[in-house]
Amino acid sequence: MDKSQKPVNKILVATDGSEAGISAAEYGANMAKKLGAEVVAIGVINVHKYESIAHTFTGQMGWLSVKEKFMKEREKEVTGDLNKVREICERKEVHCKGIIGYGYPHEEIVKYARERESVRMIIIGGSGKDFLGRKILGSVAEKIVQEVTKTLPCPVVVIPCKIEMPGARLDF
Ligand SMILES: Nc1ncnc2c1ncn2[C@@H]1O[C@H](COP(=O)(O)OP(=O)(O)O)[C@@H](O)[C@H]1O
Ligand SMILES: [Mg+2]
């Protein structure tokens, strides 16, 4: 392949709409700007969560409409999260594409990066929506980091949340 056809390197920013995810987006956009790369923002709908909700559902709606309602609500939510990343990138004049994944968040994020050679780095927050003030890595973050020694051919960068870590240095 001649060099002019080489796809632009991508930085995969995983976001769950949390403050940490936003910090990850800021860092990713700053880095993409410096490196002449593009951002791909990914938000994953944990469809398996629906299954556990469905088991406890006893209302009048049919299963299918409950599932449709769940998916529509989540898609709306994730689209909003991805738009926040896009706005951050736009302000820095960095190209950004949004992707919605369906499945377990860590699996979908890792799969996307593994299967696309242009993805050179994954950026995630150290915590997410379920942060409860604990001082350990979030469960999705931990599983993604673990994949570095198993199936991931690119680095993972874990970002401190600027709300949890005032003075976090995200201006790469
Ligand atoms: N559903 C998701 N879609 C995309 N990225 C996610 C998702 N869940 C978590 N992440 C990424 O992983 C980071 C850490 O989140 P997580 O490990 O779930 O922590 P917590 O347990 O505090 O929610 C987030 O800041 C985000 O970058
Ligand atoms: Mg979480």
- Residue of minimum CA distance from atom 7 in ligand 1: 16
How many whole angstroms from 11 Cα to the centroid of ligand 1? 16
**119-157 pLDDT, tens digit each:** 999 999 999 998 777 778 999 999 999 999 999 999 999
How many whole angstroms from 121 Cα to the centroid of ligand 1? 16
Highest-pLDDT range among 3-7, 61-65, 119-123, 161-165: 119-123
**49-84 pLDDT, tens digit each:** 877 666 555 555 555 677 788 889 999 999 999 999
Domain boundary assignment for the chain: 3-159
The rounded distance, in Å, linking the Cα atoms of 166 and 157 is 19
The rounded distance, in Å, linking the Cα atoms of 107 and 102 is 10
Choose one of 140, 143, 159, 165 to mutate for the ligand 1 pocket test, by most ligand atoms within 8 angstroms of C-beta.
140
Contact predicate 154/122, CB 8 Å = yes
**Radius of gyration over alpha carbons of the chain, in Å?**
17
Residues with CB under 6 A from ligand 1: 14-16, 18, 20-21, 24, 42-44, 46, 105, 124-125, 127-131, 138-141
The percent of residues in the chain predicted with pLDDT above 70, rounded, is 90
How many whole angstroms from 62 Cα to the centroid of ligand 1? 31
The lowest-confidence range among 90-104, 112-126, 150-164 is: 150-164
Q: Which CATH architecture has domain 3-159?
A: 3-Layer(aba) Sandwich (3.40)
Residue of 126, 114, 78, 129 whose CA lies nearest to 99: 78
pLDDT at residue 146 in the model? 96
- What separation in angstroms does the CA of 134 have from each of 14, 91, 131, 137? 21, 32, 7, 8
How many whole angstroms from 67 Cα to the centroid of ligand 1? 23
- Residue of minimum CA distance from atom 8 in ligand 1: 16
The rounded distance, in Å, linking the Cα atoms of 68 and 47 is 11
The rounded distance, in Å, linking the Cα atoms of 156 and 136 is 17
- What separation in angstroms does the CA of 11 have from each of 8, 86, 132, 167? 10, 13, 28, 23
